């Protein structure tokens, strides 16, 4: 199987060579997840180009303790792994102040320790001599390192440390449309944006990227955070099943995207470069559009249940009784910034939508005042969060309360519900959030008491902390 630059396709899992790499080199059972695809494709390209040999020196950038590094290291002289290793990082795969011990202690299968060396290093400023490595690779790392200037710094650094004729195999997130998604440190690139980067850097890409996908429903796009729309309190079969749900073609808002593999070479002489052609991409876009329409119809006809804590760190709230054991086990005092719950951001298409919030308190002061908010941000372009609606409600004692919020949602935005404790003290024993298309007049009429704020004039909010959360929740 000759592999060139291409986008992720469910059909790739059924190619005998890719299947064998997953089973024999990564030592996993094949599953429809684009991260497994990235690992298998990078390994295959390096092996097919003759770079997995006993005398090769390789470089992994942003490698953390990914499974792939152990598979590659076992075939070469040594693999140097770099990442921003730090005990304070939000990435569990790089949370350490001793990178070498970290990756050796976490070996999923036996690998000679001398074959792997880990260093704390920024992939925009590689601390190696020129012409050091036979190959380098990164797996969905470049989109997290900053903005355009950072991407170019990184690509030119990779070129500098590669030997002449060496290759850089990278995967990143690629959208099928023309609008780039510039979420802080979490880009979804467009074809033209990548072509511009490749033209300016010191590496030469292959002239064609295969943009075709098999027209099979497993390639229909779904939100990466779909599990949070099917929330159940307590253990449920669906919770386990969603851990292995298809993660191939994804949606960021209404925009489909997936992983893409690119092979770049360091040429010994400067050559005239042609812009990369993405063959088959229009047919893929047409097929994906049908999948998006099916998902729209599902949203319009189905009541969804939102995970109330999915946007909070580690999905726990200091105001929720069931999460007290977490803070006790972590031996830490909860950070009470006033956020009772905060759902992830979801796309609901266009039209009128109702949100129901059922709150049951375990313990509350007589005058515990909550502010319920609906936030949104435009999916394409930079993130700017707005509050489009808010209302107040009082919880007291062990009483339950149902609150309804009806709004007109916009196709260009994703939405999240959250609650802030304004005054008083409360601990909740249950929070249930559901949503459906349209209104429920008999129910909504019960909520006429709370004041509605900001219906006509959305309020722009500070975006502190959004970048890290978006990266953590949307990339996985």
What are the angstrom distances between the C-alpha of 229 and each of 135, 223, 434? 41, 10, 9
Q: Kindly report the CA angle at 293 between 295 and 357, in degrees rounded to 5?
A: 40
Structure tokens at 475: 């990339």
- Alpha-carbon distance of 280 to 428, in angstroms, equals 52
pLDDT beyond 90 at 272 = no
pLDDT, greater one: 23 or 320: 23
pLDDT at 164 over 80: yes
pLDDT digits (tens, 9 = 90+) for 304-328: 999 999 998 888 888 776 665 555 5
Q: What would the mean pLDDT of 81-87 be, rounded to a whole number? A: 89
∠ CA 98-38-23, rounded to 5° = 90
pLDDT digits (tens, 9 = 90+) for 165-215: 999 999 999 999 999 998 878 899 999 999 999 999 989 998 899 999 999
| Interior/surface letters 25-45, b for 16+ CB within 10 angstroms, e for the rest | bbebebebbbbbbbbbbbbbb
Tens-place pLDDT, residues 421-466: 888 878 888 889 999 999 865 444 343 333 333 333 444 443 334 4
pLDDT in tens, 107-160: 999 999 999 999 999 999 999 999 999 999 999 999 999 999 999 999 999 999
Give residue 245's pLDDT band: very low, low, confident or very high (50, 70, 90). Answer: confident
Task: State what percent of residues in the chain have pLDDT above 70.
Answer: 84
pLDDT for 168: 97
CA-closest candidate to residue 229, choices 328, 310, 160: 310
Can you list the domains of the chain with their CATH numbers?
6-298 (3.40.50.150), 303-475 (2.60.120)
Cβ atoms 372, 390 nearer than 8 A: yes
Share in percent of the chain as helix, strand, coil (round to 5): 30, 30, 40
pLDDT at 376 over 90: yes
- For residues 320 and 430, give the distance between their C-alpha atoms in angstroms, rounded to a whole number: 8
Decide: 4 and 208 in contact? Cβ < 8 Å.
yes
- Alpha-helix runs per DSSP H in 162-208: 191-200
* Contact partners, residue 438, CB within 8 Å, separation at least 6: 351, 352, 353, 354
Residue 474 in this model has a pLDDT that exceeds 60: no
Model confidence at 231, pLDDT cuts 50, 70, 90, reads confident
pTM above 0.75, yes or no: yes
Evaluate whether 470 touches 382 at the Cβ level (below 8 Å). Answer: no
**DSSP run (H or E) holding 136:** strand 133-139
| pLDDT in the model for residue 453 | 34
pLDDT, mean over the chain: 86
**Confidence class for position 385, pLDDT limits 50, 70, 90:** very high
Name residue, tokens 């949606």.
251
Name the residue with tokens 């107040």: 392
Model confidence band, residue 243 (pLDDT cutoffs 50, 70, 90)? low
Mean pLDDT of 72-77: 97
Residue 437: per-residue pLDDT = 95
Question: Quick one: which of 421, 36, 474, 4 has its CA closest to 248?
Answer: 36
* CA distances in angstroms from 71 to 138, 236, 264, 372, listed in the order given: 14, 35, 21, 49
55 — pLDDT class (breaks 50, 70, 90): very high
Question: What pLDDT, on a 0 to 100 scale, did the predictor assign at position 398?
Answer: 65
Sign of CA dihedral 359, 360, 363, 367: positive
Residue range 280-306, pLDDT digits in tens: 999 999 999 999 999 999 999 999 999
Beta partners for residue 133, in sequence order: 162
The backbone torsions φ and ψ at residue 404, rounded to the nearest 5 degrees and listed phi first, read: -120, 140
Nearest CA-CA partner of 436 in 460, 406, 470, 456: 406
- pLDDT class of 473 with cuts at 50, 70, 90: very low
Question: Residue 283: enclosing H or E segment and its boundaries?
Answer: helix 281-301
């Amino acid at each position: 199987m000759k592999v060139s630059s291409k986008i992720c396709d469910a059909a790739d899992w059924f190619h005998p060579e890719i299947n064998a790499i997953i089973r024999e080199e990564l030592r996993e059972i094949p599953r429809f997840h684009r991260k497994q695809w990235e690992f298998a494709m990078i390994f295959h390209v390096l092996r097919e180009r003759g770079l997995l040999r006993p005398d090769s020196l390789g470089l992994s950038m942003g490698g953390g303790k990914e499974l792939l590094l152990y598979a590659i290291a076992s075939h070469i002289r040594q693999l140097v792994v770099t990442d921003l290793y730090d005990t304070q990082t939000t990435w569990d795969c790089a949370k350490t102040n001793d990178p070498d011990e970290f990756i050796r202690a976490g070996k999923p299968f036996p690998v000679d320790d001398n074959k792997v060396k880990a260093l704390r290093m920024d992939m925009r400023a590689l601390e190696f001599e020129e012409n050091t490595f036979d190959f380098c690779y990164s797996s969905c790392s470049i989109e997290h390192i900053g903005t355009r200037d950072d991407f170019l710094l990184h690509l030119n650094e990779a070129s500098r440390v590669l030997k002449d004729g060496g290759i850089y195999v990278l995967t990143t997130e690629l959208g099928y449309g023309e609008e780039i998604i510039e979420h802080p440190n979490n880009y979804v690139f467009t074809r033209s944006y990548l072509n511009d980067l490749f033209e300016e850097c010191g590496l030469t890409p292959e002239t064609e990227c295969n943009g075709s996908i098999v027209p099979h429903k497993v390639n229909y796009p779904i939100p990466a955070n779909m599990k949070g729309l099917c929330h159940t309190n307590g253990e449920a079969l669906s919770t386990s099943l969603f851990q292995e749900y298809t993660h191939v073609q994804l949606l960021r808002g209404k925009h489909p995207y997936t992983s893409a593999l690119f092979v770049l070479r360091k040429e010994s002489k400067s050559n005239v470069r042609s812009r990369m052609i993405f063959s088959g991409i229009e047919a893929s876009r047409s097929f994906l559009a049908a999948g998006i329409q099916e998902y729209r119809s599902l949203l319009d006809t189905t009541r969804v249940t939102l995970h109330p804590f999915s946007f909070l760190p580690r999905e726990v709230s200091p105001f929720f009784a069931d999460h007290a054991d977490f803070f006790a086990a972590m031996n830490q005092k909860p950070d009470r910034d006033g956020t009772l719950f905060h759902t992830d951001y979801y796309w609901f298409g266009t039209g009128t939508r109702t949100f129901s919030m059922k709150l049951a308190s375990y313990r509350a002061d007589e005058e515990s005042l909550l502010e319920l908010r609906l936030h949104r941000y435009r999916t394409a372009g930079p993130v700017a969060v707005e509050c489009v609606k808010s209302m107040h409600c009082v919880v007291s004692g062990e009483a339950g309360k149902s609150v309804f919020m009806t709004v007109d949602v916009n196709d260009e935005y994703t939405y999240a519900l959250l609650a802030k404790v304004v005054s008083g003290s409360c601990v909740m024993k249950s929070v249930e959030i559901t949503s459906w298309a349209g209104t429920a007049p008999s129910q909504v009429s019960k909520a006429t008491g709370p004041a509605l704020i900001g219906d006509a004039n959305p309020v722009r909010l500070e975006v502190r902390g959004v970048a890290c959360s978006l990266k953590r929740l949307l990339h996985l």
